[in-house]
Amino acid sequence: MRTGVWLVGARGSVAVTAVTGLLAMRAGLADTVGCVTESPELRDRGLPGLDELVVGGHDVVDTPLLKRSEELGAAGVVPAALVAAVASDLAAIEADIRPVPAAATQAATVAATVADLADFRRRHGLDQVVVVNVASTEPRPPRNDTHTDLGALRAALTGTEAVLPPSSLMAYAAFEAGCAFVDFTPSTGARLPALDELARLRRVPYAGNDGKTGETLVKSVLAPMFALRNLRVRSWSGINLLGGGDGASLTEPGANAAKTASKERVIGNALGYRPQGTTRIEYVEDLGDFKTAWDLISFSGFLGTAMRMEFTWHGCDSALAAPLVLDLARLAAAAHRAGRVGPLPELAFFFKDPIGEVAAGLVDQWATLVAFVAGLGEGGRAARA
């Protein structure tokens, strides 16, 4: 089952880390730490193998992949020795990274993107292609009536005004090309009724949004802990200090707001109420690809006794996100193959802001994921039979 992974933002830190790691694992130079689909519970359950993934993608910049990978090596995100070891493989992928199409109308941009995807599929003889958005976070777009009606949207796309933000335009193109779509960012992506309609029409699945890699991951286990012990969380405040490209793009207020809203949802969902406090994101260039998050949780226990907890998370976002990108590509491809159409709420384990009504706790999301993979296997076997 040769499976294409089309990365939107293919020269960004997450994508380059994912690709470098994929090549290193294939070459037997790295183990599979961080890859959820390589856990004992999910390994060998019929997902496409790491050897079966073929990488391509779009990016607006043109720095060579190898150079980007070397930069990550210098920054301590990936081992410099690994980059050197897979240099020729990285160079070979270069040919499959294309500039982002930009045409006079969004409809024409879609057409160019669909052509890129079709070429990619044909060139490599791929069974499926999954498009994964790992580009910079966009601001929330203004409401637009065409977003709820596929017919109206189609018509509007032929005009000169841009009615879809880039992430949604990409989802549109993916669906038109018969590809599954995963949004690893908090951007809008496929989360518009008109796009859901299109996904169903083209019979492809999609998943998102916003990879859960650090502070929110911790929240998704701590918030249920307080809930299960019937403790009352009074305030939960956090700050995220981050450098790197992601941090810089988040200084843009619209993008920051999109991200922050996504980060706060998990607490309210897990607790059943919204404690006081907010989550801040601050750009501190010097921190580079590493991120420090600090959270203060004040809570009361039996008879109202006031207590508190703090945590600090020092993580490398690219190293946390990259294996999940590979996981999601494998899972979405398997879902597509098994005939799943529309949103995949069973992948909530991976997202800060999952689509659909899903459990907020990580462990419940895990159980859902394991069952989902088991079900795909059966479906897959049935489909093949």
Q: Which two tokens stand for residue 193?
A: 């009724």
| 124, 53 Cβ separation under 8 angstroms | no
**Closer to a copy of itself at the Cβ: 69 or 146?**
69
Query: Across the strands, what pairs with 94?
Result: none
Contacts of 67 (CB under 8 A, 6+ apart): none
Query: Across the strands, what pairs with 238?
Result: 279, 295
CB of 263 to a copy of itself, least distance (A): 15
CB of 276 to a copy of itself, least distance (A): 5
**Closer to a copy of itself at the Cβ: 75 or 112?**
75
Q: Which two tokens stand for residue 149?
A: 């009606």
**Closer to a copy of itself at the Cβ: 20 or 167?**
20
Choose among 136, 176, 181, 185: nearest CA to 157. Answer: 176
**Closer to a copy of itself at the Cβ: 158 or 235?**
235
**Closer to a copy of itself at the Cβ: 257 or 366?**
366
What is d(CA 283, CA 246) in angstroms, rounded to the nearest whole number? 9
**Closer to a copy of itself at the Cβ: 181 or 283?**
283
CB of 303 to a copy of itself, least distance (A): 5
| 186, 262 Cβ separation under 8 angstroms | yes
CB of 191 to a copy of itself, least distance (A): 25
CB of 18 to a copy of itself, least distance (A): 8
Crossing angle of the two packed helices 166-176 and 106-124, in degrees rounded to 10: 50
CB of 55 to a copy of itself, least distance (A): 16
CB of 54 to a copy of itself, least distance (A): 20
**Closer to a copy of itself at the Cβ: 20 or 249?**
20
CB of 229 to a copy of itself, least distance (A): 6
The letter for the amino acid at 30 is: A
Checking DSSP bridges between strand 205-208 and strand 180-183, what pairing results, if any?
parallel
What is d(CA 81, CA 62) in angstroms, rounded to the nearest whole number? 24
**Alpha helix (H) ranges present in the chain?**
13-26, 65-74, 80-85, 87-93, 106-124, 150-157, 166-176, 193-202, 215-228, 244-250, 253-271, 317-337, 362-384
Choose among 85, 218, 106: nearest CA to 167. Answer: 106
**Closer to a copy of itself at the Cβ: 173 or 319?**
319
What is d(CA 216, CA 212) in angstroms, rounded to the nearest whole number? 6
